[in-house]
């Protein structure tokens, strides 16, 4: 087996998902791309896609070799981040999966197998984490307060610093699609307002924070805080003081609940794979073992109790905080994920 590959610079890679999303936005373009690859590539060549927001099974169906199509989701910056999500489609052959897993080992990546869903394991979970970050802004927090709380917990960076690093316009493009596909899904509008100002993050020198050329230090911006306060006022929300404990619990438990759905659906085969994704790809504190192991240590009963409390918050998303059936069952039985 051989793997179709292209040499890209860091600047190419850091916005790869956004570029692919934009290119594939028009119906039929992705079909043409993979139909052409299918035509020109030699038999046995593996056709791989990096994106986390396209259906690998649909992409595979555009070819005459669906058994040779697989996802290889690298994490930005790809030359540094150790995680590689290897996405197995419904028809991906065992030897193709084995080849790509071996490739991951050869290039010194930590490879985790994922099934096909929007966002795979890591990005599907991080969307819920980001939604909670937005709700916390609506309710009274600043980006710096949220980031400092979760960084004190041990994360490499908080959701807003992470957004600035990845590019806020990438999340904006995904939300625009969500508004069409899932109109009942609730989001804070603060991130959209930020993007409308052209504050896309480090690459533009301005996002949730300001950045000095050549440096990555996040400098709080008073106008961004004013924008959040004005939006909050427009919604008639009276800000409240939110503890660091609540910030951490809402961010981390949002990961846990979504991960429980992922396990139940068979997207991930075991809880430790999810933990590895977050340790290697998202800066989860290593000494806490990953979101699933951390939830086990806190006690799943306690996690569920906190989630039930968050569901009573009218400014949050009550439907999301309904415990995933797997989580509810394990908590009731006094069991753990691992």
Task: Check 73, 161, 250, 261 and give the catalytic one.
Answer: 73
Instruction: Choose among 83, 135, 104, 128: nearest CA to 247.
Output: 135
Longest CA span, the chain? 63
What is the distance, to the nearest Å, from the Cα of residue 131 to the centroid of all Cα atoms in its chain? 11
**DSSP 8-state secondary structure symbol assigned to residue 72:** E
Complete DSSP assignment for 267-313: SSS-HHHHHHHHHHHS---GGGT-HHHHHHHH-HHHHHHHHHHHTT-
Judge whether 163 and 191 are in contact, CB under 8 Å. yes
Instruction: Choose among 245, 219, 73, 36: nearest CA to 152.
Output: 245
CB burial of residue 230 (10 Å; 0-12, 13-18, 19+):
exposed
Q: Report the alpha-carbon distance of residue 277 to residue 5 in Å, rounded.
A: 23
- Beta strands 45-49; 209-210: pairing state: unpaired
Q: Does the active-site annotation cover 261?
A: no
Q: Report the alpha-carbon distance of residue 177 to residue 183 in Å, rounded.
A: 9
Complete DSSP assignment for 10-23: HHHHHTHHHHHHHH
Contacts of 291 (CB under 8 A, 6+ apart): 125, 252, 255, 256, 259, 274, 275, 278, 284
Q: Report the alpha-carbon distance of residue 190 to residue 210 in Å, rounded.
A: 17
- Sign for the CA dihedral angle at 253, 260, 110, 96 comes to negative
Catalytic residue numbers, as ranges: 73
């Amino acid at each position: 087996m051989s793997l179709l590959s292209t040499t890209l610079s860091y600047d190419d890679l850091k916005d790869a998902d956004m570029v692919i999303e934009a290119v594939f936005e028009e119906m039929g373009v992705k079909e043409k791309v993979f139909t052409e690859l299918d035509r020109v590539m030699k038999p046995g060549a593996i056709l791989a896609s990096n994106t986390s927001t396209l259906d690998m099974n649909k992409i595979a169906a555009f070819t005459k070799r669906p058994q040779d199509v697989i996802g290889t989701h690298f994490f930005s910056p790809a030359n540094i981040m150790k995680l590689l999500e290897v996405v197995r489609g419904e028809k991906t052959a065992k030897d193709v999966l084995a080849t790509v897993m071996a490739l991951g080992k050869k290039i010194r990546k930590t490879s985790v197998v994922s099934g096909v869903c929007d966002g795979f394991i890591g990005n599907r979970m991080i969307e819920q984490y980001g939604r909670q970050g937005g709700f916390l802004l609506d309710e009274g927090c600043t980006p710096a307060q949220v980031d400092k709380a979760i960084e004190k917990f041990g994360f490499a960076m908080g959701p807003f610093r992470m957004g600035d690093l990845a590019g806020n316009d990438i999340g904006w493009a995904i939300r625009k699609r969500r508004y069409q596909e899932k109109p009942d899904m609730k989001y804070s509008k603060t991130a959209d307002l930020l993007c409308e100002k052209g504050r896309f993050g480090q690459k533009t020198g301005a996002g949730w924070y300001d950045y000095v050329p050549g440096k990555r230090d996040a400098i709080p911006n008073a106008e961004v805080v004013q924008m959040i306060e004005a939006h909050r006022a427009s919604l008639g929300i009276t800000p409240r003081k939110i503890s660091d404990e609540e910030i951490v619990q809402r961010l981390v438990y949002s990961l846990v609940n979504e991960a429980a759905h992922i396990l139940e659906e068979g997207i991930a085969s075991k809880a430790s794979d999810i933990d590895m994704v977050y340790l290697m790809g998202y800066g989860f504190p290593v000494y806490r073992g990953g979101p699933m192991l951390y939830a086990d240590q806190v006690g799943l009963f306690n996690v569920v109790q906190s989630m039930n409390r968050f569901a009573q918050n009218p400014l949050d998303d009550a439907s999301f905080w309904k415990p995933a059936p797997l989580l509810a069952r394990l908590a009731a039985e006094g069991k753990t994920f691992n």
